[in-house]
Amino acid sequence: MTPTATPHRVALLAYDGIQGLDLVGPLEVFAGANTVLRHDHPGRRGYETIVVSAAGGALETESHLSINTEPVAGLDAVDTLVIPGGIAAPAAADDPDVLAAARALVDGSTRVVTVCTGTFVAAAAGLLDGARVSTHWARAEALRRRFPDLEVDADPIFIHDGRVWSSAGVTAGIDLALAIVEHDHGADVAQIVARWLVMFLRRPGGQTQFATSVWSDRADHGPIRAAQDAIDASPGDDHRVALLAARVGMSERHFVRRFTDDVGVSPARYVAAVRLEAAKRSLETSTDTVESIARHCGFGTAETMRRTFHRRLGASPDQYRQRFRVAT
């Protein structure tokens, strides 16, 4: 009989207010991988998981689930450190005890994993070293502002950059853990775990397709607000900068400068965002053809709209409609 290999030790660092699924999701994947390995690959190195916190003891997730943790002090070296996120993550990134625990755990580890806003804690602890990372789409801009050395990409479900693995929000931690199992043990093992969890092994598209609008600022009443209102009311109209500027009685150069200062994005980017949102709403709520929606929302042709959807959302208009169509 083949002797059992020393398990790969995974420590999940918890703190009060974490998102429970950020913790439990990856735990279930590693537990599922152990079941598959015991059955199909006896003797292969599985996973030993331990949930830890700075001081140990009971903690509470943001949904008020109580979890028991072991103290970091005295813990043997781990191979992988997982830092979940949650609404408390930005505050935890200012907690010296949490940061000290993260630094202690990373000593000797070969992999640093962040789930959702766990990136805030890892970055504050100095564990990311300017890596390219993902995080929850709604927190990406805050992460960029706080840690400008990071390359924050808000769209991928997960990113692997050297020893750093990071995921988008909440359920994306399961996708990330499946990717780690695939990296460690191959697609056959990861695929079986994914099937038992009723998951895609590789989820199609990026997380942007799930995001609600993170709208730009609204200008105060005046010509810039009037231009915004015109764009919002009729996304499919001709909204070239020269026409918008003339419509509100401003020079083109002055209009672009004022619009960008007041709204936070250029007129062209604002028009593109409004058109994309209008097309998404039409796909979700109407039975209009892609060709019709493309015309009414200002894309001109269905092919232009398809290219935009693939570039911005990682999915075609038809795929987006299949996933988000509102039942009537």
Q: In the prediction, which pLDDT does 205 show?
A: 60
CA dihedral 51→54→58→62, nearest 10 degrees, is: -80
Cα–Cα distance, 138 to 210 (Å, whole number): 11
Closest CA to 265 of 307, 300, 224, 209: 224
pLDDT(1) > 50 = no
Residues of the chain with CATH 3.40.50.880: 8-209
Span 119-129, average pLDDT: 96
pLDDT in tens, 217-246: 678 778 999 999 899 888 999 999 999 999
3 state SS of 97: helix
pLDDT(326) > 90 = no
Token pair belonging to 328? 């009537």
The CATH classification number of 8-209 equals 3.40.50.880
Most confident of 96-100, 260-264, 315-319: 96-100
Closest CA to 83 of 52, 55, 47: 52
pLDDT in tens, 38-86: 988 888 889 999 999 999 999 999 999 999 999 999 888 899 999 999 9
Token pair belonging to 201? 């092994």
Q: In the prediction, which pLDDT does 122 show?
A: 97
CATH 1.10.150.20 fits 223-324, yes or no: no
* β-pair partners for 183: none
Span 27-41, average pLDDT: 93
pLDDT in tens, 272-318: 989 998 898 888 888 999 999 999 999 999 999 999 998 888 889 99
Better pLDDT: 111 or 209: 111
CB 104 within 8 A of CB 113: no
Residues of the chain with CATH 1.10.10.60: 223-324
pLDDT(3) > 70 = no
Q: In the prediction, which pLDDT does 46 show?
A: 94
Which ranges constitute the DSSP H helices of the chain?
A: 20-40, 89-92, 96-106, 118-124, 140-146, 172-185, 187-196, 223-233, 241-247, 252-263, 267-285, 290-296, 302-313, 317-324
Structure confidence at residue 206 as a pLDDT band (50, 70, 90): low
Using CA atoms, how far residue 113 sits from 87, 122, 131, 208, 252, in Å, is 18, 9, 12, 21, 47
Span 259-269, average pLDDT: 90
Q: In the prediction, which pLDDT does 214 show?
A: 47
